[in-house]
Structure 1
Amino acid sequence: MKPILRKVDTGYNYSFSIREDIYPYLYNRWHYHPEMELTLIRKGSGTRLVGDSMEPFADGDLILLGPNLPHMWRSDAQYFQGTPGLHIEAIAIHFKPDFWGNGFLQLPELKRVRELLEKSAQGIRITGRTRQEISTLMEVILKAGDVKRISLLLNMLELIAQSKSCTLLSHIGFTRSYNPENTDNISAIYNYTLDHFQQKIGIRDVAALVNISPHSFCRYFKSRTLKTYWQFLLEVRIGHACKLLIENKLSISQICYTCGFNNLSNFNRQFRMLTGMTPTQYLKTYMAGLIPSE
């Protein structure tokens, strides 16, 4: 299975697409498209994968993606259970980097925007005050027409380009080496892992899923993602643990076993290795407002 090439409909008489999505759950397939993408998760939670980046997302998640950068938003498990009233809401803008016409981005006034579009090849997460400003403008652009659409999009890109509240998501080594045209089973592997990370997972189980020998699987996964499968599985488990710590409804011991770890000492060690702090320190840091919730 290859990452799906998703065709984006720009709509009649428009040069780029603006779409409001209200679904029971988010599209959960590893995919890419030639358009850039600016997505606001107005409501919903789950796991976001961009290139070799894996992070939890929640209400207010705002991401800028470059062309052909593989990505996936996967809603949390409860969204797939048909819970009444539980749904996701998102606004997505898709545009090709050159839709303005040849030479437009070469204008000296657009240097920062041009540099932003180049950085977006790694995926960019926007937070803080910039996220609030862009979120407001995305609600406005939903109803805008004609020249207003273009001016609003340019305004948003300029705000992001000037912001200091932006984080690059995927490593540049991944974006330079990844070929989206290669036949790929990563989507199936990702989904299986996100469905079963709370249980014991063996390489044989995942390898059998995509009809690859266990020996070849390890090499295959690392060549596609630039990390081992065990590193990816650990990131999924620790990412979920961080989310549970922030919710503050379970004890650290309960979180340990809920996230698929066999003992508390190993959980604490792995958590510290990945985050630089213990689960207790992480919770205290979040409660002190030093870890952003958006």
Structure 2
Amino acid sequence: MMKISKIRLRQEPYKSFIVHNEKDPFTPWHHHPEYELVLIVQGQGRRMVGDHVSRFTKNDLVFLGPYLPHQWACDPEEGDSDNGPQDEAFVIQFTYDFMGNEFFEIPEHISLKRFLLESTRGIEISGKDKSKIISILNSMFDMNDNHRLYALFSIFEVMGSLSEYNFLASPGSINNLPTKDNDPMQLALQYILQNFQNKIRIQDLLELTNMSYASFYPSFKKAYLMPFKDYLLKVRVGYACKLLTDGSMHISEIAYDSGFENLSNFNRQFKKIKDITPSQFQKLYKKH
């Protein structure tokens, strides 16, 4: 079982946010209340965010929401040589209220605020937007404090209009997901997260949202970037990943407790989402 530690970087006095250069070994499996932007300057290995496991290499760029467990575990051969390259990351951390309680609430920040809410799952940034952010980050170490602040604002500008990015952790791995009262898609999401262990009938969601079958499906896909059935599957797999990392239940028990009707279907759908079997996933986490 992986123990989640609460590890926070030291914030210097009279500074509103943190700029940190991290060297191998990187911080172990942990979480913290700050938002975090991580750029891998040098190195490669295994990146774990929530229930998501994948490889990382140089220029890996990820944005994390508060209290989302994560770890970048470097390959042993990287950085071992005294003369070889050392694993290195550039990290920026800030709290939601670092510029005051109203900063992210103003109308001009509506897109940026949505991005911050979505970061509860962890976001891997790619494409041209990634190149823009990396360029800003690479110049920040040589800036004074005042210029660093405005550079961060430039990063916010890019984040508010991102077009190329991927979510990392499955929705089922998120606790205390923020919701807006009376929003049909948020009501549907809340219902799914509360009932995914049982059979969910589409009719229940239509009654809850007061929507027709024809309007619900495209609205859900627009809001959550995937069809309803795919989202439900990811929620169930995400929850199963949490149980697998705990290690206290048999895989067949985990399958039924996560909403799957039988073990064979669970194994098939899990591999479809994670590209590895449940037993392989469990062994992968035990290594760290």
- Assess, with a 3 A threshold, how the Cα gap between structure 1 residues 53 and 13 changes in structure 2: closer, same or farther: same
* CA distance, structure 2, for counterparts of residue 94 and residue 161 of structure 1: 17
Higher RCO (CA < 8 A, seq sep 6+): 1
Aligned counterpart, 2:226: none
* CA distance, structure 2, for counterparts of residue 81 and residue 143 of structure 1: 28
Q: Contact 1:160–1:166 at 8 Å: present in 2 too?
A: no
* CA distance, structure 1, for counterparts of residue 62 and residue 111 of structure 2: 18
The amino acid of 2:8's aligned partner reads K
Q: Contact 1:54–1:236 at 8 Å: present in 2 too?
A: no
Query: Could you tell me how far 1:83 is from its partner in structure 2?
Result: 6.5
What per-residue deviation string (whole Å, max 9, x for no partner) do you get for residues 107-158 of structure 1?
Answer: 1111111111101111000111111111111122223233322221121022
Aligned counterpart, 1:160: 159
Q: Does 1:216 align with 2:263?
A: no
Query: Could you tell me how far 1:218 is from its partner in structure 2?
Result: 4.2
* CA distance, structure 2, for counterparts of residue 120 and residue 53 of structure 1: 14
How much is the aligned-residue C-alpha RMSD, in angstroms?
3.2
* CA distance, structure 2, for counterparts of residue 16 and residue 41 of structure 1: 19
* CA distance, structure 2, for counterparts of residue 220 and residue 99 of structure 1: 44
* CA distance, structure 2, for counterparts of residue 174 and residue 42 of structure 1: 28
* CA distance, structure 1, for counterparts of residue 252 and residue 103 of structure 2: 43
What per-residue deviation string (whole Å, max 9, x for no partner) do you get for residues 204-235 of structure 1?
Answer: xxxxxx9x9x87364898889x9799426259
Q: Contact 2:4–2:29 at 8 Å: present in 1 too?
A: yes
Query: Could you tell me how far 1:84 is from its partner in structure 2?
Result: 4.0
Number of aligned residue pairs: give it. 201
* CA distance, structure 1, for counterparts of residue 153 and residue 253 of structure 2: 40
* CA distance, structure 2, for counterparts of residue 153 and residue 220 of structure 1: 46
> What SS does structure 2 have at the residue aligned with 1:155?
helix
Aligned counterpart, 2:104: 105
> What SS does structure 2 have at the residue aligned with 1:162?
coil
Aligned counterpart, 1:18: 19
* CA distance, structure 2, for counterparts of residue 78 and residue 84 of structure 1: 13
Query: Could you tell me how far 1:42 is from its partner in structure 2?
Result: 1.0
* CA distance, structure 1, for counterparts of residue 75 and residue 144 of structure 2: 35
Q: Contact 1:54–1:235 at 8 Å: present in 2 too?
A: no
The amino acid of 1:5's aligned partner reads K
Q: Does 1:231 align with 2:278?
A: yes
> What SS does structure 2 have at the residue aligned with 1:77?
coil
Q: Does 1:9 align with 2:10?
A: yes
- Identity of counterpart residues, as a percentage? 27
- Assess, with a 3 A threshold, how the Cα gap between structure 1 residues 171 and 151 changes in structure 2: closer, same or farther: same
Query: Could you tell me how far 1:165 is from its partner in structure 2?
Result: 1.1
* CA distance, structure 2, for counterparts of residue 165 and residue 232 of structure 1: 32
> What SS does structure 1 have at the residue aligned with 2:38?
strand
Q: Contact 1:112–1:158 at 8 Å: present in 2 too?
A: no
Aligned counterpart, 1:201: none
Aligned counterpart, 1:271: none
- Assess, with a 3 A threshold, how the Cα gap between structure 1 residues 26 and 8 changes in structure 2: closer, same or farther: closer
Matches within 5 A, 1:31-180: 31-79=30-78, 81-82=80-81, 84-176=83-175
* CA distance, structure 1, for counterparts of residue 134 and residue 279 of structure 2: 31
Residue segments in structure 1 that go unaligned for 5+ positions in a row:
179-209, 238-294
> What SS does structure 2 have at the residue aligned with 1:117?
helix
Q: Contact 2:46–2:54 at 8 Å: present in 1 too?
A: yes
Q: Contact 1:5–1:32 at 8 Å: present in 2 too?
A: yes
